[in-house]
Structure 1
Amino acid sequence: MPSTARGALAGRTVFRVGYGAMQLERLRDDRGAAVALLRRAVELGVDHVDTAQFYGNGFVNGVIRDALRPGDDVLIAGKVGADPDPGGRIPLRLAQRPEELRASVEDNLRALDLDRIPLVNLRRADRRPGVLAEGDQLVDLDDQLAVMTALRDEGKIGAIGLSGVTIDVLRRALPAGIACVQNAYSLVSRDDEDMLQLCVAENIAWVPFFPLGGAFPGLPKVTDEPAVHTAAQTLGRTPEQVGLAWLLHHAPNVHLIPGTAGVAHLEANTAAGDIVFDEETLAALDKVPSRSMDASLG
């Protein structure tokens, strides 16, 4: 692997290509396959797994509990701000209030059979994409950070991350000690470039979701870009691998959490960590225009 293949996250040095476990829910009818997929990720060097209790109403956390062993030394990153809602229009509901955040951490601890979750991301609900908060779910950031820092002080979580935030929210949160930011970001949707650079300056990990764009209708896709296909052909890689590798090259604090329910796709995602671009290829990718996600979503 290149020397840039590892980086700092929540006080650890980990492989910069992790695994987003949400897609494990697709294997609900074959739990053995889900466990085997996660074991394969560990074999490939993945030591950062992103999860939440609302992924599959606890199914995903259960798979992680069964698949991972203490000797694997995997950094598990949890997420709070929503809870499972199996009977709802979408299978989750917002849970932004301080008492809900604490309860969500406890739920994750029980499901994962852990005494401490190394990193927990607070998923805010005041910007798209995602469900926007209203009513009693409109909660002040300071109230949320108060309970998150209390949980950290109690040893139930190791570090605090933020997800789905604006740069102003991040600036307000900095005194609490923020380990990472998870926002939608890709080669074709770089709305949060200023926030990424602030994270670089503050030694905060940047963990983009939707790293290839196109998660919702109307959003641009990295794999539609001619420059991406040219780079893929030159390197003998897939366009998806090029899109992931560009993120790793773009800033030293980027960590990826691509998700999949298939072993071949997992292996391809992980292999993106060893791609090295020459200056010409990287310059061509850097010139790909960014399209505003807010504008694309209408």
Structure 2
Amino acid sequence: MRLRSLLAATATMGAALALSGPAPAQPSAQSSAPAAVQSPAALPGAEAMVAHRAAYRLTFDKARDNSDVSRAEGVMLFEVLDACDGWASRQRLTMRLQDRDGRAIETASDYSTFESKDGRRLRFSLTQMTQGAVSNRISGEATLQPDGSGVATYEQPSTRTEALPAGTLLPMAHTIRAIAAGRAAERILNVPLMDGTSEDGAQDSTTILSQWNKEAETKPRFPLLAQQESGRMRIAFFGKDNNGGGASSPDYEVGLRYFANGVADELNMDFGEFAVNGRLETLESVPGGC
């Protein structure tokens, strides 16, 4: 039932996800303390991203004729925190899948990352469970050079490294770039994306952007979305054996609406065998920053 693809697609739908554990400690304000090292400059557009906590209800959309999956539903909890020089977030996902014989499978995942605001470093940790037992763990760190090339160093499931091609983006950097592309009336964004949900390093991605809506909703469902422009996009992800997209079918796709502050709603996640819709149920801002 492609459980890794299920997690990876949902992980990429929002802003950066975070390193497990506390946010980096802030330097003391006392005059006797050593001078703090200046943080790297944040990516242009990072200042518009908002720290928030959100809950999504996942409901069954459709299944392919040859799919074993007949139903799917679940809940996704997501939070992204402004940790001064980076974005620290966590995503928890639970899904109940049912096959055509009526048998149910419970899956759960806990995924967290820390991404520096300059888009050059990502720390990631993923634990997946099936029927209450751990089925997969991935953890490690990715670092990028100015041209986007770099290396992913894995700690789990085994110690190894993967080279990252030039132009690679980390999750929050991809969100910022995609929103900027939508606002600039661009229609397509092709980049390798490194999010830490795969043991194979970066995945090729193609983002198709619809026309950006410059008219903010006058009566949004949540105060955090007031006076926010928005745009719809669909992101397709290709594995290494897919030769970078082209005429190949994607491993999975995510359709969503992004607001200018990085909040996403109206999700549709297509895993090939089946698809689910995601509805934003609760949304609140989270204090943070320096």
- Normalising by the smaller structure, the TM-score range is 0.3 to 0.5
TM-score (norm 1): 0.32
If each structure's strand is expressed as a fraction of its own residues, which one has the higher value? 2
If each structure's helix is expressed as a fraction of its own residues, which one has the higher value? 1
TM-score (norm 2): 0.33
